[in-house]
Structure 1
Amino acid sequence: MKGKEFEVREYPVPEPASGTVLIKQELAGICGTDLHNWEFQRMEHDVIPGHENVGVLDAIGAGVEEDYLGNPVKIGDRVVLSPGVGYGFLPSEEQPYLRGGFGEYIYAWHPESLFLKTDLPIEVAVLTEPSACAVHCVTRAKIRFGDTVVVQGSGPIGLLVLNWARLSGAASVISVGGPGGRLEMAERFGADLTIDIADVPDPNDRKRVVRENTPQSAGADVVFECAGNPAAIVEGLDYLRRGGTYVEYGHFVDSGTFECNPNQMLLRKNLRLEAAWGFESNHFIRSLRMLEKHADLFKDFVSHVIPLERVGEGVNALHTGYHLDGRDAIKIAVKAHM
């Protein structure tokens, strides 16, 4: 990615140095962060995007005998790679090359690289990174059994947050977002109510609907902001009951500001505000464990698999209404070998 342009380039494929591995990519997800970096031009250098990665070990450097958890590995094993050291965001023209997932190979060159072996299907394994984000987000909320939870945003992160929140004890889960295909997935994940922002365009009407669907119309116990739109924060704070918890997660990339009256919007609500950044290694590990346990839930989560040459189309689909090839997009993934 160079500015707002996408082009296919060739790089030499390295022989792994001691302590490193070369992964032949099977699938890489297009993330909202990729969209926002493209949309707001937050990258100051050319980059090979792709930080949601699954592939097979193609070559192994000396001394590498196991994954992060101590499981023995060999050439041909499927692994998921955490982007923690910068994979998918590093300068593409600096050596070592191939440090992003939108390509045939990714070179895990950093000594602190975290990769885990898995037997999951690639369409589920590729969700490990976004699921790790959701694990961190839900963990920060400290959900209690019987809570009413609202998730703003029905993209991949919002849907994964909804699912893990439900499995964490939420008695009622409300999804606010769109388009329809994504809200159908929210219902499959157990959403008790979905609110399509296209059908209910007035924020005040959405606030009313949300509160009417909470105990005593008092508001939700927990609200997650996963939409990445500053205006969603203003709206979502009014979904909360007094003393509730608001978890902000949608602004990994700087996408603007909003006007805030701390007295009215925060203090008088006596709320708890959490702001979660990315994830840590333990969230990545927990994410894979949960995906392995609940793999059947995610059978159709990857709605589109496209070749490298169509990455620009995939990003633009997320920019212009979440629609590609005649159907709603949930998760778009890139496959170099098609």
Structure 2
Amino acid sequence: MTRFGRAVVAHGQTFEVREYPVPDPAPHGVVLRQELAGICGTDLHMWQNGIQGEMALGHENVGIIEATGKEVTKDAVGNPLREGDRVIFQPGTPHGAYGFKTNPDVAPHFTGGFGEYIYLAYPDTCVLKTDLPPEVAVLTEPFTVGVHAVMRGRVQLGDTVVVQGSGAIGLVTLVCARMSGAAKIIVIGGPAKRLELAKRMGADVTIDVETVRTPEERRELVMAETPQNGGAHVVFECAGFLSAIPEGLAYVRRDGTFVEVGNFVDMGPVSLNVNQLMMRRNMRVEAIWGSRSEHFIRGLPLLERNEYPFAEMVSHVLPLEDIGKGFDALNGTYRLGGEVVIKIAVQGGE
């Protein structure tokens, strides 16, 4: 008997929940019963731009194996897999990406994370078994972005680091910088509840953009917290706002590094003085494109140590039919139901 499940379809700035038949997996495929799917800044930026056509969004996921193809016996590091195991997966593959498929009415269905199921149909999908609780496991994909960013930033023991942005990517980048030996970490963001969590996750200094409103004021505060008022060794732009780029470049000390993390979606050009902000500082500039299987394999064991209050990052869990409320909150006040939003996850089903 054919089973059916629900999945969210996005178009423009609207969402619709539809029913599709749950597929039987191909020999290399895996069907997951979705537990949680995080709303990513990439999802938000695509929605802000208006999604062309129809798309099955969602790529930050954790789920339970419902069925596997006959060729699937182990995860990416050799752990045996069976029905009932909790797993996470890398959304990008050599054959396509989960969470970005257009024409979702065309089979195979359930290619995005906002649904009751997700079908891992692409060959060579990096799947990893985990015993983490779902509210932490759902953070694996953003955590791997932090791993990638800090590896590219080459944070060294004793560095002073600035993280722009106190959303999920900023918070996990903060943790990865601390793990890599940063001596002082300054987080610039807001609202205040996000910055309180940043403190518990290892930030030494926080600057609230809701109260310190100009780049000039923020720069004065940042520089005062750096060695000889000379700037940070490494700056990570994790906010995803174009205006944060020239502001962040101005925080970097001579011979320092700037890492662009937040602009995964094309939000347009930015104007800056290359000579003053970059050349005269002898700066190294890096930009990362998501994460790869290497970062999942490196990052998951660190996340599984669960030494930081990761579960507190998931401030809201919404049913599929309320997903629009989550996007609206992230697009405006960062508040939902009277409470500050940190990370919103969408529940797959009962």
Report TM bin, short chain: over 0.9
More strand by share: 2
Counterpart residue identity of residue 89, structure 1: F
Paired position in structure 2 for 1:264: 276
TM-score, with structure 1 as normaliser: 0.98
Unaligned residue ranges in structure 1 (runs of 5+): none
Q: CA offset at residue 60 of structure 1? A: 1.0
Kept in 2, the 8 Å contact 1:124–1:295? The answer is: no
Give the RMSD, CA atoms, in angstroms: 1.0
Comparing 288-297 and 115-124, the one that deviates more: 288-297
Q: Which amino acid letter does the alignment assign opposite residue 156 of structure 1?
A: A
Q: Does 2:129 align with 1:121?
A: no
Equivalent residue in structure 1 for 2:69, among 61, 67, 89: 61
Counterpart of 1:36 (choices 30, 45, 59) is 45
Quick one: which amino acid aligns to residue 19 of structure 1? H
Alignment of 1:1-338 (within 5 A): 1-41=10-50, 43-85=51-93, 86-91=97-102, 92-294=104-306, 296-338=308-350
How far is 1:93 from its partner?
2.3
| Cα deviations by residue, 1:31-76 (Å, 9 ceiling, x for unpaired) | 11110000012x4331121100100100111121111111111100
In the superposition, the TM-score normalised over structure 2's length comes to: 0.94
Sequence identity, in percent? 54
Partners of 2:245 and 2:168 lie apart in 1 by 19
Cα distance per residue 1:94-149 (max 9 Å; x no partner): 22111011111000011121111111000000000000111100110101111000
Per-residue CA deviations over 1:277-299 (Å, capped at 9, x if unaligned) read 11111101112111101255313
Amino acid at match of 1:52: E
Determine helix, strand or coil for the equivalent of 1:139.
helix
Q: Distance in 1 between matches of 2:214 and 2:200?
A: 26
1: CA distance, partners of 2:307 / 2:205:
24
Name 2:3's counterpart in structure 1: none
Structure 2 residue matching 1:11: 3-state secondary structure: strand
Q: Which blocks of at least 5 consecutive residues in structure 2 are unaligned?
A: 1-9
Q: Is the 2:201–2:308 contact (alpha carbons within 8 Å) kept by the matching residues of 1?
A: no
Give the total of aligned pairs: 337
Could you list the runs of 4 or more consecutive aligned residues of structure 1 that deviate by over 6 angstroms after TM superposition? none
CA shift for structure 1 position 262: 1.8
Kept in 2, the 8 Å contact 1:30–1:332? The answer is: yes
Alignment check: 8 A CA contact 2:33 2:348 kept: no
Q: Which moved more, 1:313-322 or 1:87-96?
A: 87-96
The C-alpha deviation readout for 1:231-276, integer Å capped at 9, x for no partner, is 1011111111111100011100011221122211211111100011
